[in-house]
């Protein structure tokens, strides 16, 4: 299986993070390598020489960096004396974008492709003695088909901005009450008065050094906050050297001393996806401007309909991002554990639905 075969399974509407080059850069940079607990084990279904379907899959011993909360499941395994790992995880490492996890082309009906890959995952779980298999942040049709065959459905939420007919940023601010509008304007005004400006630059127009700076700032910022940088050092330069470069967008913040922060984003025809953020020095309100407001403003100017700023962060609600459900499916080797988690996941979905209905 090569890049051309993989990418032939992509279709309009798939985000760039499903492209072979994205996975290649993740794996070659060590972001999704065995040394960081990601052992590639991608599933490919062929009919003769024709590639029918692909499911990006990784064998994992932990759940670090997956963005799907596994604490209760780990506790249940520990209390029951059952293994939590190894696990087969169908996902895009360090990239919690909800989209297809099973790529299929015209050679196989979509529902058949999902069912066949699902059965292959169950067989793999037995053959490799995996504790579980799962697809994280998968597409609605994958959820529907696999849930019908007994897979466990888990639901959580992410935040997303969507255009509501606005043309410019001032129109966007009309969504908020007067006090909140005034607060956002004040934040942007104070940052500008401090001599800080943020410009979004397309990957094709960005110098190579800017990608290296984005990676360095991201890692330094993570270290200052005591968190593990999920993305490997060379990922940024590797993806900038790939055909995906023209899908990249960098948010570059400058002050009197030079570049003080960079956001790293990727775009498709109608959506901007925020991936990383890093800064060399603290500037009040800079994170909100660079990671949120400048992205919304850029989407409004360039005709994009959505902006996904990344996983988590309930404070995004106050910045104009609305919660939306995202789903994952799971199967466990031990049938008793599978049944217990199936019941628990039902209660979890009810709780999530209540939160979403209340305007989470």
pTM: 0.96
Query: Does 86 sit behind a cis peptide bond, omega within 30 degrees of 0 on the bond before it?
Result: yes
| Whole-number CA gyration radius for the chain | 21
Helices (H), the chain: 3-7, 20-28, 71-80, 110-127, 140-148, 169-173, 178-193, 208-224, 235-240, 286-288, 294-302, 335-357
Mind listing the pLDDT tens digit for each residue in 252-276? 999 999 999 999 999 999 999 999 9
pLDDT single digits (tens) 122-152: 999 999 999 999 999 999 999 999 999 999 9
Asked if the model's pLDDT at residue 360 lies above 80, the reply is: no
Evaluate whether 202 touches 249 at the Cβ level (below 8 Å). Answer: yes
What's the pLDDT score for residue 283? 86
d(CA 278, CA 199): 15
Contact criterion met (CB below 8 Å) for 204 and 246: yes
Task: Convert the pLDDT of each residue in 89-124 to its tens digit.
Answer: 999 999 999 999 999 998 899 999 999 999 999 999
Q: What confidence category does residue 314 fall into, taking pLDDT thresholds of 50, 70 and 90?
A: confident
Mean pLDDT, rounded, of the chain: 96
CB-CB neighbours of 177 under 10 Å: 8
Model confidence pLDDT, tens digit, residues 237-253: 999 999 999 999 999 99
The pairing of strands 248-255 and 197-202 is antiparallel
pLDDT tens profile 9-62 = 999 999 999 999 999 999 999 999 999 999 999 999 999 999 999 999 999 999
Is the pLDDT at 359 greater than 90? The verdict is no
Report helix, strand or coil for 326. Answer: strand
CB 101 within 8 A of CB 89: no
Nearest Cα neighbor of 266 from 307, 296, 297 is: 307
Environment class of 140 (CB within 10 Å of its CB; exposed 0-12, middle 13-18, buried 19+) = exposed
Q: What domains are defined for the chain?
A: 3-158+326-357 (3.40.630.30), 164-304 (3.40.630.30)
Q: Is residue 65 within 8 Å of 133, Cβ to Cβ?
A: no
Question: What is the C-alpha end-to-end distance of the chain, expressed in Å?
Answer: 43
Tokens of 115: 């069912």
For residue 1, pLDDT over 80 is answered with: no
């Amino acid at each position: 299986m090569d890049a051309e075969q993989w990418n032939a399974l992509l279709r309009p509407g798939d985000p760039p993070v499903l492209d072979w080059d994205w996975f290649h850069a993740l794996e070659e940079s060590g972001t999704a390598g065995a040394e960081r607990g990601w052992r590639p084990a991608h599933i490919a279904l062929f009919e003769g020489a024709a590639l029918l379907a692909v499911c990006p899959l990784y064998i994992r011993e932990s759940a670090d960096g997956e963005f799907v909360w596994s604490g209760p499941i780990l506790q249940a395994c520990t209390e029951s004396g059952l293994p939590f790992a190894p696990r087969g995880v169908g996902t895009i490492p360090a990239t919690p974008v909800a989209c297809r996890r099973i790529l299929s082309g015209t050679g196989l009906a979509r529902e058949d492709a999902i069912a066949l890959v699902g059965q292959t995952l169950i067989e793999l779980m037995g053959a490799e003695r995996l504790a579980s298999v799962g697809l994280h942040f998968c597409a609605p049709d994958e959820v529907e088909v696999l849930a019908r065959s007994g897979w466990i459905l888990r639901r959580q939420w992410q935040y997303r901005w969507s255009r509501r007919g606005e043309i410019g940023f001032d129109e966007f601010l009309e969504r908020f009450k007067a006090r909140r509008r005034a607060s956002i304007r004040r934040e942007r005004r104070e940052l500008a008065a401090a001599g800080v400006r943020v410009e979004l630059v397309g990957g094709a127009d960005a110098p190579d050094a800017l990608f290296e700076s984005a990676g360095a700032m991201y890692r330094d910022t993570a270290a200052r906050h005591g968190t593990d940088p999920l993305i490997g050092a060379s990922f940024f330069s590797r993806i900038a050297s790939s055909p995906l470069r023209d899908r990249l967008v960098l948010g570059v913040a400058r002050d009197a001393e030079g570049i003080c922060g960079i956001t790293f984003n990727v775009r498709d025809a109608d959506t901007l996806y925020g991936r990383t953020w890093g800064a060399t020095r603290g500037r009040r309100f800079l994170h909100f401007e660079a990671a949120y407001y400048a992205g919304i403003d850029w989407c409004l100017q360039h005709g994009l309909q959505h902006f996904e700023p990344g996983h988590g962060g309930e404070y995004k609600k106050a910045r104009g991002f609305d919660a939306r459900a995202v789903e994952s499916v799971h199967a466990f080797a031990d049938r008793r554990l599978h049944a217990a988690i199936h019941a628990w996941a039902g209660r979890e979905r009810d709780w999530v639905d209540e939160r979403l209905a209340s305007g989470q």
